[in-house]
Amino acid sequence: MTATDVLGVLLAGGLARRMGGGDKALTPLAGRPLIAHVIDRAAPQTAGLLINANGDPARFAQFGLPVAADSVEGFAGPLAGILTALEWASAQRRDCRWVVSLPTDSPFLPGDLVARLMAERQAQDAELAVAVSGGRSHPVVGLWPVDLAPALRQALTEEDVRKIDRWTARYRLAEVTWPTEPVDPFFNANRPEDLAVAEAMLAENG
């Protein structure tokens, strides 16, 4: 199901230290870049996708998606990417009232991600929603209203807030749980050895 007022942001702005640096999003998995697997899963669920990445945007040209660098300086982490998407949507996709943030190192994202985040946020009368699996919250996988852009900019630039959960604690938050069988849909490939695990999971589960 496509959410017609949700923009997906693919967070590729990190430094990938545990992967040895470089563009983790472009690291091959089963012959394709990690980010390509995420695009396949996210595109059918959203009204459009934005890549958040710093540096030369041309390295993502093969995906045919807009690329926006962090709108605040200093590699401020995922919150900077979320802010970038909120502000980009406000300027470029005014039909999108929501942004769903997606890590580019999670190739098994669920096909009902956006629908369930939206539904549970509404059911719980919450302002934000984040994914949970295996008893762990995944704050980088979240649903954010575009209207919160000014408040998030203030938190980042004036209050030096960097942790997502420190910011979400200010709002009514819905936590939406997914099962971890046959695979954890929020498995993320942080290290080279994780790629081998992901390859095996793909081979076994398709």
Convert the pLDDT of each residue in 67-78 to its tens digit.
999 999 877 899
Quote the number of domains for the chain: 1
Q: Is the pLDDT of residue 19 over 60?
A: no
Q: Is the pLDDT of residue 16 over 60?
A: no
- Cα dihedral angle (143, 146, 148, 151), rounded to 10 degrees? 120
Residue listed under structure tokens 């929020």? 186
Instruction: For residue 16, tell me if it sits in a domain.
Output: yes
Tell the burial category of 124 from Cβ atoms under 10 Å away from its Cβ (0-12, 13-18, 19+): middle
Q: Helix, strand, coil proportions of the chain in percent (round to 5)? A: 40, 20, 40
Instruction: For residue 1, tell me if it sits in a domain.
Output: no
- Domain of residue 125, CATH code: 3.90.550.10
Instruction: For residue 170, tell me if it sits in a domain.
Output: yes
Question: Taking a C-beta distance cutoff of 8 angstroms, is the pair 140, 101 a contact?
Answer: yes
Q: Which two tokens stand for residue 192?
A: 């080279």
Instruction: For residue 90, tell me if it sits in a domain.
Output: yes
Instruction: For residue 172, tell me if it sits in a domain.
Output: yes
Classified as helix, coil or strand, 97 is coil
> What percentage of the chain carries pLDDT values higher than 90?
78
Instruction: For residue 116, tell me if it sits in a domain.
Output: yes
- Identify the CA nearest to 90 among candidates 44, 4, 148, 11: 148
Residue listed under structure tokens 């496509």? 2
Domain containing 35: what range? 6-205
> What's the CA gap between 46 and 39, in Å, rounded?
10
Look over the chain and give the mean of its residue pLDDT values, rounded to a whole number.
91
Instruction: For residue 73, tell me if it sits in a domain.
Output: yes
Question: Taking a C-beta distance cutoff of 8 angstroms, is the pair 103, 87 a contact?
Answer: no
- Band (pLDDT 50/70/90 cuts) for residue 14 is low
> What's the CA gap between 107 and 38, in Å, rounded?
5
> What's the CA gap between 159 and 169, in Å, rounded?
14
pLDDT tens, residue by residue, 154-195: 999 999 999 999 999 999 999 999 999 999 999 998 878 778
